[in-house]
Amino acid sequence: MLKCYEVNAIGPLMVAQTFLPLLRQAAGQQSSEPMSCGKAAIINISTGVASITENSSGRMYPYRASKAALNMITSNLSLDLKSDGILCTAIHPGWVKTEMGGPNALISTEECLKGIMFVLEKLQGDEESGKFYHGVKGHVIPW
């Protein structure tokens, strides 16, 4: 469980903190522009199974809990960095045919990437920050 927290929650927070000076610099250069991925953003890769609201199957305690922690970190960052103009959001890539997802997964890596890029392009403004998006379908997932 500790390893999952290190990889899925602590690691992304440390990366965000490390790049924060550069993100602030980028956002400051476009201070009159609305929040967007083209300006400055922290995008955390989460998972639908981290949604407490949509949990209907249980199991996978370390993975689910560590990704739920990542979602809370994302929400906190969105509040803390709002005044800097840095967009922060979490995104669920879908069930992807990778080593982790396995051969029975629903989408290819190409479909996953296209979906995520489509969602990220649409994120404009303060109201889009601090949310949890489905990377393929584009809707907001309840925390």
At 13 the three-state DSSP class reads helix
Q: Which CATH number fits domain 2-134: 3.40.50.720, 3.90.1150.10, 3.40.50.620, 3.40.640.10?
A: 3.40.50.720
Sign of torsion over alpha carbons 82, 43, 111, 51? negative
Q: What integer best gives the mean pLDDT of the chain?
A: 94
Q: Is the pLDDT of residue 95 over 90?
A: no
Summarize pLDDT for 96-126 with one digit per residue, the tens.
999 888 899 899 999 999 999 999 999 999 8
User: What's the confidence (pLDDT) of residue 75?
Assistant: 97
pTM of the predicted model as reported, rounded to 2 decimal places = 0.92
